[in-house]
Structure 1
Amino acid sequence: MPGVADGQGLGPVLTVPNLISFTRLLGVPLFLYLFLATDATGWAIAVLAVGGLSDWVDGFAARRLKQVSRLGELLDPLADRLYILATLIALTVKDVVPWWFTIALLGREAVMVLCLVVLRILGHGPPPVHYVGKTATAILLMGFPMMLLARFSEAARPWALPSGWALLWWGIVLYWVAAVLYFIQAGIHVRAGRAAAAGAS
């Protein structure tokens, strides 16, 4: 399946990995509706778990099927961030995770956005996603369903709560490590661009 090109530099659009990413994006409002507007907590946990487990599927499919595209490179981190932010806010509102954890994670996102803005001002695009960041995202997306399960299932609470907190701690630490690595990549990217411009002049 070669996909359909959009002709605007984003590469093939209708590919298997991109369809997976689009489906993951649709899971965000579905989770919020199930969790915040209904009592279908079990289904909300299922949607969140599937979204977390499918985090690596689109990238694996892109490499395996040779369907890597610029659109896919944009959609994948967008889906990750929306899942994490939407889930984090919803769980904080429902007192499943504390505010200090939310602030720590949102602070990291604010730092990343600032970095992207600076890069854009300097005329550079974002560096490629680091595997540490992908690992952190996957761990967080596994930790959130565990915390939900611990909150709404007394039977699962004894093992789900410590498992959930272990995953969230590992996830937030790796998330900040990924941010540091991203800054290093961005610095290398900017210096390489300046060196190339100096050489051309």
Structure 2
Amino acid sequence: MSDRILTVPNALSFVRLLLVPVFLWLVLGPEWDELALVVLMVSGVTDYLDGKLARSMNQTSKIGAILDPVADRFFILAVVIGLTARDIIPLWFAVILPLRDVFLFALIPFLRTRGYSSLPVHFLGKAATASLLYAFPLLLLGGAAGEPPTTVSDLARVFGWAFTVWGVSLYWWGGVLYAIQVRRLMTTTERVRT
């Protein structure tokens, strides 16, 4: 990994970060759901491309390893806030999803005692994020529970919740695996002296 900051993948992650407030404004302000869907799709494409381009163009960087997951977390949080405010997802869901990140954040002090600031991202985390990036546009397309149903909104809601349940399950399962990795690291690695 290089120390480079100005790379194509990092620019894509930065664009994704800039789209977070745009998405929230579109969903909560004028409720322009079609444009919000476009923003979600662009976010998903840039999430896929930044990792692929980083590897294929040999532009992996330390800042990119931080920027990409941070952009993912901010976008997921923004979508959860927006969809909860619009009554598209229930409050319990809005709590359970970010709670996993709070849980993992609490593990960082333990990692630091062994000289680590984070663990490498594994496939489960990527699969969970991908599933949620499919779920959120479908949930938005499905609309709030009180809106008049249509065939498209009904199908979008069903598939959206299917991806949501799968994504949240993988998200938490990945979190538990991270906790197991931290525990294993704590028992097999010497404490770093500061």
- Do these two structures clear the TM 0.5 threshold for a shared fold by scoring above it? yes
Whether the aligned pair in 1 keeps the contact of 2:115 and 2:192 (CA below 8 Å) is no
The residue type paired with residue 150 of structure 1 is: G
Residues 61 and 67, structure 1, Cα contact 8 Å, conserved in 2? yes
User: Residues 121 and 38 (structure 1 numbering): CA distance in 2 closer, same or farther, change over 3 Å?
Assistant: farther
Q: CA deviation at 1:129?
A: 1.1
- Asked if 1:190 corresponds to 2:182, the answer is no
Matched, 1:83 2:79: no
Pick from 4, 10, 24: which aligns with 1:32? 24
Spell out structure 1 runs of 4+ moving beyond 4 A: none
**How far did 1:131 drift?**
1.5
Give the TM-score taking structure 1 as reference length. 0.86
Output the CA distance in 2 between the equivalents of 1:72 and 1:15: 9
Cα deviation, 1:45-68, whole Å, max 9, x if unaligned, reads: 110122123322111110000111
Report the CA distance between 1:119 and its aligned residue.
2.3
CA contact (8 A) 1:140 1:167 kept: yes
CA displacement 1:117-151 (0-9 Å, x = unmatched): 33235543111111110110111111011000011
Cα distance in 1 for residues equivalent to 2:102 and 2:128: 17
Match of 1:135 in 2: 127
Equivalent in 142, 148, 151 of residue 150 of structure 1: 142
The 1:111–1:195 alpha-carbon spacing in structure 2 relative to 1, beyond 3 Å, is closer
- Other-structure match for 1:52: 44
Residue identity (%) = 41
- Is residue 102 from structure 1 mapped to residue 98 from structure 2 by the alignment? no
Q: 1:196 to 1:28 in 2, by over 3 A?
A: closer
Q: Partner amino acid for 1:167?
A: F
* RMSD of aligned residue pairs (Cα, Å): 2.1
Aligned residue for 1:56, secondary structure, equals: helix
Partners of 1:150 and 1:158 within 8 A in 2: yes
Give the deviation of 1:103 after TM superposition: 1.8
Letter in 1 for 2:111: L
Cα distance, 1:65–1:98 mapped onto 2, change above 3 Å? same
Query: 1:150 & 1:193 partners in 2: Cα distance?
Result: 48
Aligned residue number for residue 70 of structure 1: 62
Higher RCO (CA < 8 A, seq sep 6+): 2
Q: Is the 8 A contact 1:18 1:72 kept in 2?
A: yes
TM-score between both structures, scaled by the size of structure 2: 0.89
> Unpaired segments of 5 or more residues in structure 2?
none
**5+ long unaligned stretches in structure 1:** 1-8
Cα displacement string for residues 45-103 of structure 1 (whole angstroms, at most 9, x for unaligned residues):
11012212332211111000011110000001001100101110111111000112122
Q: Is structure 2 residue 164 aligned with structure 1 residue 172? A: no
- 8 Å CA contact retained: 1:143, 1:168: yes
